[in-house]
Amino acid sequence: MNDELFEINSERIVRAGISRRLFLRTTLAGGASLLAGRAATIFAAASASDNTSFTIGGDLAVNRLGFGAMRLTGEGIWGWPPDRENARKVLRRAVDLGANLIDTADAYGPETDELLIAEALYPYPKGLVIATKGGNTRPGPGQWVPDGRPEYLKQCVDKSLKRLKLDRIDLYQLHRVDPKVPMEDSLGALKEAQSAGKIRHIGLSEVFREQVARARKTVPIVTVQNRYNITDRKWENTLRYCEKEQIGFMPWAPVGGTRGMTNTALEKAAKDHGVTIYQLGLAWLLHRSPVMLPIPGTSSLAHLEENMATAKVKLSADEWKAIDALAGA
């Protein structure tokens, strides 16, 4: 149930030389200073014709490699982080490095994650898309209980708007389908908020392709956020549906979540290409589908730099085919 992402162990960073096909970490030291303070320029560069970008809902152009803010909260995704200023620095750096899609939820903290985003980034740079979610309650640390009642979701939207200091949320996602509430009722509440100008676009999380098709009879769905990574492809059918319908697919746990990515063959392949297995996993996601919008999360500035460098990974079709085979595809 948890959307927890696995933090990369810095001691496992591969320091091997960069292969002729890759351009990764050598650009960070020299290029990082050029990125700082240039978020508006980076955001403007996103276009529908550029494979590094995707247009959500037909009008929100984002760089496909985004940032998941969940790990900026306290242990168990509960409370404030031990170093609040560091969390703000990570958010600002993510934007500096080109992440103009930031994913959060009212359940992260709860509430503290949205507050941190506003503290760090408000007033928001033009083109920044903040995607939040509602419909998952937090009785305690590590606990997640769906609540899709229309009256509850309506107040969730209003409270997120206030915490994020927004007049309208660009992307609001139903965090979980509540088995006790008809999906149409939950989505009906979000549709009302959309009609009132509080929400721009609506997405879903952890759903089967049949549920997405059903939801679209009530309201347009522009994104789906399901667990998915190179070693866990349970939701492959949902991804294929999203590809067909041009719905953005936001994989959570893109590098394995709390389970990590323990695959000896992939570890060796990553080392051979001069990257970490986590960079390889993120690069694979970007390669896997043009609708894929990975949102890796971390509370470490070093890991953030490493994650964002993934956008530079370029492998040939044959190399990706070999890596698919190693992953058991």
Q: Which residues pair with 201 in a beta bridge?
A: 171
Q: Is 108 a catalytic residue?
A: yes
What whole-number distance in Å separates Cα of residue 146 and Cα of residue 322?
Answer: 40
**Dist CA 87 CA 89 (whole Å):** 5
Give the separation between CA 54 and CA 64, rounded to whole angstroms: 6
**Residue 18 structure tokens:** 């960069």
Query: Is residue 204 a contact partner of residue 163, using CB atoms and an 8 Å limit?
Result: no
CA distances from 18 to 22, 271, 274 (A): 6, 10, 5
Selected catalytic residue, list 108, 172, 241, 278:
108
Sign of CA dihedral 167, 173, 178, 184: positive
Query: At how many degrees (to 10) do helices 150-164 and 183-195 cross?
Result: 40
The secondary structure of 61-119 as a DSSP string is EEESS-EE-GGGS-TTTBS--S-HHHHHHHHHHHHHTT--EEE--TTTBTTHHHHHHHH
Report the distance separating Cα 148 and Cα 173, nearest Å. Answer: 12
Which residue spans within the chain are E strands per DSSP? 53-56, 60-63, 67-68, 101-103, 129-134, 136-137, 145-146, 169-174, 199-205, 223-225, 248-249
3-state SS string over 105-148? CCCCECCHHHHHHHHHHCCCCCCCEEEEEECEECCCCCCCEECC
Q: Supply the residues annotated as catalytic.
A: 108
